[in-house]
């Protein structure tokens, strides 16, 4: 079916690409989903579209700008993974030997729940805040919209909490800090967001 594509790379689906897809994409693209990518035959027709979505960082859906905030549930591909995807597609997207396929199988992961018992809810503007928070989540943010939040500690240190530049409608999970955010008394939180949008700080 794809014999017209010249193979110019040693990167294959069975050795490198399937493992990235299992790690980064299976939660949304397992068998039974709208665009399943659970095997080579399903993924190969989408190869160029996958490359384009990966290069633009629209997939996996995340929305938060790299380098602003540090989140442990960031599903984004590493620079090496993006390079592997790109070279695989531009090299003809070869399958490789099935003996090298990973043993793990694709499954539909359960829906991730909000990991907080209570939240501090804030609209756009400046707010005083105090407490220890483990995640942040926008509420009511439209697809494609932007939101930015930062905190100023009593000593004057400013921490950029999150910057969402193009919010993906598919992203419903909170952004979980790698280390808890500690805001001493007297801290201020600054939020730039569309009217009506709230930012939830999860305790």
Inside any domain, residue 21: yes
How many domains does the chain fold into?
2
Inside any domain, residue 189: yes
Give the span between the Cα atoms of 150 and 160, in whole angstroms: 4
pTM comes to 0.71
- The residue range of the domain holding 51 is 13-100
Per-residue tens of pLDDT for the chain, all 203 residues: 455 568 899 999 999 999 998 888 876 776 666 788 888 998 999 999 989 988 887 788 888 988 899 999 888 888 899 999 999 999 999 999 998 888 765 554 444 445 566 789 999 999 999 999 999 999 999 999 999 999 999 999 999 999 999 898 777 789 999 999 999 999 999 999 999 999 999 99
50 and 89 housed in the same domain: yes
Measured CA distances, 119 to 77, 106, 189, 191 (Å): 29, 34, 14, 16
Looking up residue 134, the CATH number of its domain turns out to be: 2.60.120
Inside any domain, residue 1: no
């Amino acid at each position: 079916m794809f014999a017209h594509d010249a193979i110019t790379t040693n990167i294959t689906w069975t050795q490198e690409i399937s493992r990235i897809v299992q790690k980064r994409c299976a939660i949304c693209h397992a068998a039974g989903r709208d665009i399943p990518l659970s095997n080579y035959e399903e993924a190969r027709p989408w190869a160029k579209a996958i490359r384009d979505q990966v290069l633009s960082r629209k997939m996996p859906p995340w929305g938060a700008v790299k380098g602003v905030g540090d989140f442990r549930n960031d599903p984004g591909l590493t620079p090496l993974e993006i390079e592997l995807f790109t070279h695989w597609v531009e090299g003809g997207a070869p399958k490789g030997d099935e003996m090298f396929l990973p043993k793990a199988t694709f499954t539909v992961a359960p829906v991730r729940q909000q990991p907080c018992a209570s939240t501090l809810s804030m609209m756009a503007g400046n707010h005083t805040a105090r407490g220890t928070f483990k995640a942040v989540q926008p509420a009511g943010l439209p697809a494609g919209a932007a939101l930015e939040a930062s905190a100023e500690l009593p000593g004057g240190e400013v921490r950029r909490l999150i910057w969402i530049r193009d919010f993906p409608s598919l992203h419903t999970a909170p952004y979980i800090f790698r280390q808890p955010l500690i805001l001493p008394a007297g801290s201020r939180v600054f939020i730039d967001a569309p009217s009506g949008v709230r930012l939830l700080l999860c305790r």
